[in-house]
Amino acid sequence: MVGAAAAAGTQLRAGPHGYPHEAGYPRYVTDHHAYERFRHGVELLERGDHHAAVVSLSRARDLEPEKASVREALGRALFGARRYREAADEFAAVVERAPTNDYALFCLGRSLQLLGRHDEARRPLALASNLRPERADYRAYRDRARRRAGA
């Protein structure tokens, strides 16, 4: 059992595309559940209820671990809940799937900075800044990471 499914006592198994889905339900049913959990989580996130959003989005991620949109939203919720280590993990998963996602790179760098890992934060912040040179906030955090890392 995995994550939210374990808490609910639901067995997950690999579906035809390798994604986990709830045992006994056709793929389209679990897709619908994941989408509903994602939508609900994003609504909570937009209202600023980061802790509740983490719960809903974690469930969606457990059903659809390859969906970058779910992982990014979960990363945002974790960041807002000040769970920076977990947020960094989610943003790293997004960057692994989409290495030119400037927002995920930026958020990964910010999460690492807030963990005091300034040297590690330099690379994703530099990449984000290079991808979007017009973003002054990206440059400011990149420069801060460089200074704090002693580079």
Domain ranges of the chain: 1-82, 85-151
* 29 or 111: which leads in pLDDT: 111
Return contacts of 49-54, CB within 8 angstroms, 24+ apart. 50/77, 50/78, 50/79, 50/80, 50/81, 51/81, 53/77, 53/80, 54/78, 54/81, 54/83
What is the model's pTM?
Answer: 0.79
The pLDDT tens digits of the residues spanning 124-148 come to 999 999 999 999 999 999 999 999 9
- Average pLDDT across the chain, whole number: 86
- Encoded tokens for 149: 């890392």
Q: According to the model, what pLDDT value does residue 150 have?
A: 82
- pLDDT confidence band for 29 (50 / 70 / 90): very low
For 46-83, the pLDDT digits (tens) are 999 999 999 999 999 999 999 999 999 999 999 999 99
More confident site: 22 or 40: 40
Q: Just give the CATH number of 1-82.
A: 1.25.40
Question: What is the CATH superfamily name and number for domain 85-151?
Answer: Tetratricopeptide repeat domain (1.25.40.10)
Whether 85-151 and 1-82 are alike in CATH topology: the answer is yes
